[in-house]
Structure 1
Amino acid sequence: MRVKRQKRHRRAVRFYTACYGFREPFKILCDGTFVHHLLANCITPADTALAKWLGAEVKLFTTRCVIAELRSLGDSYSDSLHAARNLITARCDHEKRESAVACLTDVIGETNPEHFFVASQDAELRKMFQEIPGVPLIYALRNALFLDRPSATQHKFVKTSEEARSHMTDVEYKMLKLQKKRLATYGARDSSYVNENNEDHILEKDFKTNVKRKEIAMKDKAQFKRKRAKGPNPLSCRKKKNKENSAPDKDSTSVDNATRNKSRKRKRSRKSKSTTEAIV
């Protein structure tokens, strides 16, 4: 139930922001009954609770007449009087003290130009404000806060305002008539000039179409290209080897082998012959 209630409240807030131009931070105009209910049910601090509930920043307002009414109620409302004094005071032009209902109706007026949310526990006051377009109403039940759904009069006001925007006003209609008369007077004078311009425009069109047709005919013809001899791919060719680094010839290899064989022959000593001759 709590999630559904939050969705309903967010939907109502979107309605007022889109159709009536409410912007953050939202202004909430509180009367004495609402302030007393918040303190009695420990819904404190009120600004953080309302901000969390509406999903946006909030500023709490009250009037001097509301504070004076709480002061006149005695010591039982001293805490609510102290809390109301800490709120921002909205401007009301009452020199003498008025009742809270009369003061709030004067501040809201017929169109609610300051875009106030009205927070009150008075059911009759909320009914009266439901007939005024663009006045969101807040009330509390025990520890829960509620936002009234937009009334039928508020929906009707939005529809009529949208229809009025789609139609022309009287001033715009008069301007349109004057423009038509001017075009009718200048149209006869400029008719010859317009005909000449039309003829030139037709000639230009014919010339452009002929040029395009020639270009298309040239494109449609088969165009053959001669194949020309191309050089070899340099990446597929081997690099030329230098003569110095080239492999040796067969003759040189045979000579080298012969010299190696000669050097490997064992040298025999002649001591054995000398020894045999001495024995004989």
Structure 2
Amino acid sequence: MRVKKQKRHRRAVRFYTSCFGFRQPFKVLCDGTFVHNLIVNRVAPADKALSNILGGSVKLFTTRCVLEELKRLGSAYSESLQAAHKLMIARCDHEDKKSAEACIAEIIGENNPEHFFVATQDFGLRKKFREVPGVPLIFGLRNALFLEPPSAFQHEFVKTSEEQRLHATELEYKMLKNRTKSTSTNEESGHSSDENKGPREMQPVKKDSARRRMDGKDRPQFKRKKAKAPNPLSCKKKKKDVNPKPSSDKESNAGNNATRSTSRKRKRSRKSKNLTEMDSK
């Protein structure tokens, strides 16, 4: 049951936001009966309960006329009066204090320019505002709060306004009619001037002149191949080797060592020398 109620409230809020331009934070105008219902049923905090219904942030308003009416009701409504003083006050320029119903009706007007949600327990006031386009109504039932679905009048108002947007207004129709008249007169004057001039002699058109008259869009656009710059890597100078041909040096050193080893003479031992001397003796 709670899920169905949330869906119904969400659908109603979407209707007012898309068709009448309601935006967050939503402004709720409360009268004395609604504030008293919140106090009696201990619905607190009120702004949180209303934000749960509307699915967005909320600002609560009341009027000076509502506060004066709660004062006149006596001590039974003293707690409701204290709670109403905590709300923001909507502007109502009434020198002589009016009833809460008349004050709220004057603020709402014919099309609710301030985009107020009206919260009231007065059935007569709710019935009156059902015939005003773009006025969402909130009421309490025990400790639960409800948002009324849009009335049939409001649905019909939205439908007719959408149909009017599709059709041209009287002013637009007159402007269109004048424009068509002016274009038709210009065309007639152009035809008459051509007839007075007579037939023109046909002159051969050169191909070169025809080509010159062609617009830029009509001309065939060919992409010319531009001369490309040389490869930057091929333009680099070759680096000189610090140790040129190290392998060749190694080979030459190896060859020198080999020649040196072959050129070395064999040393004879002293023993062989002494033996030869002894033999000679």
TM over 0.5: yes
Residues 147, 267 of structure 1: alpha-carbon distance in 2 compared, 3 angstrom cutoff: farther
Instruction: Report how far residue 54 of structure 1 moved.
Output: 2.0
Task: Pick which of 75-84 and 90-99 moved more.
Answer: 90-99
CA deviations 1:191-210 (Å, max 9, x no partner) are 377899xx9xxx89xx57xx
The equivalences for 1:80-119 within 5 A come to 80-119=80-119
Q: Distance in 2 between matches of 1:119 and 1:5?
A: 18
Structure-2 change in CA distance of 1:172 and 1:265 (3 Å): same
Matched residues, percent identical?
Answer: 53
Pair 1:256–1:130, CA change in 2 (3 A)? same
Q: Which amino acid aligns with 1:102?
A: A
Q: What is aligned with 1:260?
A: 261
Distance of 2:193 and 2:17 partners within structure 1: 54
Give the match for residue 175 of structure 2: 175
Preserved contact between residue 61 and residue 87 of structure 2 (Cα < 8 Å): yes
For structure 2, the 5+ residue unaligned runs are: 215-219, 221-233
Give runs of aligned pairs for residues 130-169 of structure 1, distance below 5 A.
130-169=130-169
Give the Cα–Cα distance (whole angstroms) in 2 for the partners of residues 144 and 259 of structure 1: 117
> Residue type matched to 2:66 in 1?
V
Pick closer, same or farther for the CA change 1:185–1:258 going to 2, 3 Å.
closer
Offset from partner CA, 1:74-119 (integer Å, 9 cap, x none)? 2121011111122222233444343322322222222212211000
* Matched letter for residue 269 of structure 1: R
Q: Is 1:270 paired with 2:271? A: yes
Q: Classify 1:74/1:255 alpha carbon distance in 2 versus 1 (closer, same or farther; 3 Å).
A: closer
Matched, 1:28 2:28: yes
Q: How many residues align?
A: 254
Higher fraction of helix = 1
The amino acid of 1:268's aligned partner reads S
Match of 1:185 in 2: 185
RMSD over equivalenced CA pairs, Å: 4.4
In 2: Cα distance, 1:41 partner to 1:243 partner: 103
Q: Which amino acid aligns with 2:70?
A: L
Matched-pair contact (CA < 8 Å) for 2:65–2:98: yes
Cα pair distance change 1:267/1:129, threshold 3 Å: farther
Contact kept in structure 1, 2:53 and 2:147, CA below 8 Å: no
Q: Confirm or deny that 1:76 pairs with 2:60.
A: no
- Say if 1:194 and 1:27 are closer, same or farther in 2 by CA, change over 3 A: farther
Give TM-score scaled by structure 2 length: 0.72
1:128 paired residue number: 128
How much has 1:190 moved relative to structure 2?
2.2
Distance in 1 of aligned mates of 2:273 and 2:41 = 137
Match of 1:12 in 2: 12
Are 2:24 and 2:57, in contact at CA under 8 Å, matched by a contact in 1? Answer: yes
